[in-house]
């Protein structure tokens, strides 16, 4: 896993000019826990448009996930990074990141509650069409969007970028209403083949509309420049896989929403 997700992803998109997007922190709650997400809105938005819920990686709501929300807003969507950990919980090193992520990986019920709270908050935003929402997630968040789907969330689709792929509760596949897109590093050492097999068996048994793309040579965190370039560590940025996965995601969103998002 990568703790150094502090590269502002919007820098990867030269066409995204200052002034096109308005972004701000958004406070909401799940039970007695205060959460603080990040909302990015196109400045030219008119009426209601599709929304994208972004689920952060294991460092929480920090620069990387905020940057991705900005990129999505630059495409015409209203995007919000959901806060899974809680307001002010922003790990700064791998040990703390692993501890926070572990709390939710071992308590999928709590994980789903936080995911659903974020989805509800996004749907409340005045410029979001609540009937046209998708969720995307990175690493920890890639696991999260699959859990959101298994929770029966009313979303059109979910996109998992280098997420954990397994099937802890196979029977929950029947709850999935969304189309599923999995974008995976073919050489990711953290995702065993048996986990992928279990996930696909779950999705097939539930007759879910799903697709999976694997990128040769890519390992975990392939979309994050903060992961560095040493593939031997199991986490590394891969510019080709990053670009291809972003294009694949855009095509998926176009399939779900075009021409309403343009």
The CATH number assigned to the domain holding 188 equals: 3.40.50.1820
Would you say residue 2 lies in a domain?
no
Which range of residues forms the domain containing residue 140? 22-257
User: With the CA atoms of 30, 105, 173 and 156 taken in that order, what torsion angle do they form, in degrees rounded to the nearest 10?
Assistant: 50
Mean pLDDT of the chain: 91
3-state secondary structure of 38: strand
Domain-located, residue 160: yes
pLDDT for 14 equals 31
DSSP helix, strand, coil percent of the chain (3-state; round to 5)? 40, 25, 40
CA separation for the pair 38, 53 (Å, rounded)? 10
Secondary structure class of 165 (helix, strand, coil) = coil
The reply to whether 1 falls in a domain is no
Query: What global pTM score does this model have?
Result: 0.91
As for how many domains the chain has, the answer is 1
Percent of the chain residues past pLDDT 70, beyond the cut: 91
Report if residue 3 sits inside a domain.
no
The reported pLDDT for the residue numbered 214 is 98
Residue 7 in domain: no
Three-state DSSP at 81 gives strand
* φ and ψ of 169, to 5 deg: -135, 75
pLDDT in tens, 24-68: 999 999 999 999 999 999 998 889 999 999 999 999 999 999 999
Indicate the Cα dihedral angle 52, 16, 212, 221, nearest 10°: -100
For residue range 188-235, what is the model confidence (pLDDT) as tens digits? 999 999 999 999 999 999 999 999 999 999 999 999 999 999 999 999
13 in any annotated domain: no
Percent of the chain with pLDDT over 90: 89
Residue 8 located in a structural domain: no
Q: Is residue 16 part of a domain?
A: no
């Amino acid at each position: 896993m990568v703790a150094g997700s502090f590269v502002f992803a919007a820098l990867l998109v030269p066409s995204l000019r200052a002034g096109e997007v308005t972004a701000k922190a958004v406070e909401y709650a799940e039970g007695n826990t205060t959460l603080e997400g990040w909302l990015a809105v196109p400045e030219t938005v008119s009426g209601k448009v599709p929304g994208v819920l972004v689920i952060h990686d294991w460092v929480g709501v920090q620069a990387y996930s905020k940057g991705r929300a900005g990129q999505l807003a630059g495409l015409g969507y209203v995007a919000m990074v959901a806060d899974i950990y809680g307001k002010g919980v922003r790990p700064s090193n791998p040990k703390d990141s692993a501890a926070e992520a572990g709390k939710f990986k071992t308590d999928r019920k709590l994980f789903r509650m936080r995911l659903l709270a974020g989805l509800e908050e996004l749907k409340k935003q005045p410029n979001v069409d609540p009937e046209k929402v998708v969720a995307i997630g990175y690493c920890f968040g890639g696991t999260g969007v699959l859990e959101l789907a298994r929770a029966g969330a009313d979303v059109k689709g979910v996109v998992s970028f280098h997420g954990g792929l397994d099937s802890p509760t196979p029977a929950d596949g029947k709850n999935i209403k969304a189309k599923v897109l999995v974008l995976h590093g073919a050489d990711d050492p953290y995702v065993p083949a048996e986990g992928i097999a279990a996930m696909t068996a779950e999705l097939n048994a539930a007759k879910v509309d799903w697709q999976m793309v694997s990128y040769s040579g890519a390992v975990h965190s392939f979309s994050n420049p903060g992961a560095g370039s040493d593939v031997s560590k199991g986490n590394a940025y891969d510019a080709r896989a990053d670009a291809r996965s972003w294009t694949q995601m855009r095509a998926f969103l176009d399939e779900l929403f075009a021409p309403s998002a343009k």
